[in-house]
């Protein structure tokens, strides 16, 4: 299965946070799954780190990227087809990063691993 990690999911995975659900841990450990992270998540974490709203990120965005590179995960760039999808999506979720992740998942036929249950309202495949 092809799975896109929500930003918090990737952060919690790297930090081995207790908020990861049993199902999320199972999905992350299953070597038959292809795991992806959007560059939009890196952008989101860099912004939050720069304004002091991210305390769980040792080493800032550089530290996160270093840890990410140790994991079996592919990075997805933000592409025009993802942005085009956003224009046609209902305005359910106000967070622009989450909207971009949902558009990426829908466009590239990925399931999303996220604790954010509101993603289901976009008819997106969601695990948690």
| pTM for this entry | 0.93
**Residues facing 74 on adjacent strands:** 36
The answer to whether 125 and 19 are in contact (CB under 8 A) is no
Please name each of the domains of the chain with its CATH number: 2-127 (3.40.50.1010)
Calpha distance 48→19 (Å, rounded): 19
- Which comes out higher in pLDDT, residue 16 or 76? 76
Other Cβ atoms within 10 Å of 80 Cβ, number:
7
pLDDT per residue over 35-85, tens digit each? Answer: 999 999 999 999 988 998 877 777 889 999 999 999 999 999 999 999 999
């Amino acid at each position: 299965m092809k799975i896109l990690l929500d930003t918090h999911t990737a952060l919690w995975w790297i930090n081995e946070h207790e908020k990861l659900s049993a199902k999320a841990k199972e999905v992350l450990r299953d070597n038959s799954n292809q795991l992806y992270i959007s560059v939009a998540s890196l952008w989101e974490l860099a912004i939050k780190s720069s304004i002091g709203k991210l305390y769980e990120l040792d080493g800032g965005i550089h530290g996160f990227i270093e840890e990410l590179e140790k994991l079996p995960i592919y990075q997805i760039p933000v592409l025009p087809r993802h942005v085009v999808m956003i224009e046609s999506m209902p305005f359910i979720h106000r967070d622009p990063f989450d909207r971009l992740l949902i558009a990426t998942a829908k466009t590239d036929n990925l399931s999303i691993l996220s604790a954010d249950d509101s993603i289901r309202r976009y008819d997106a495949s969601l695990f948690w």
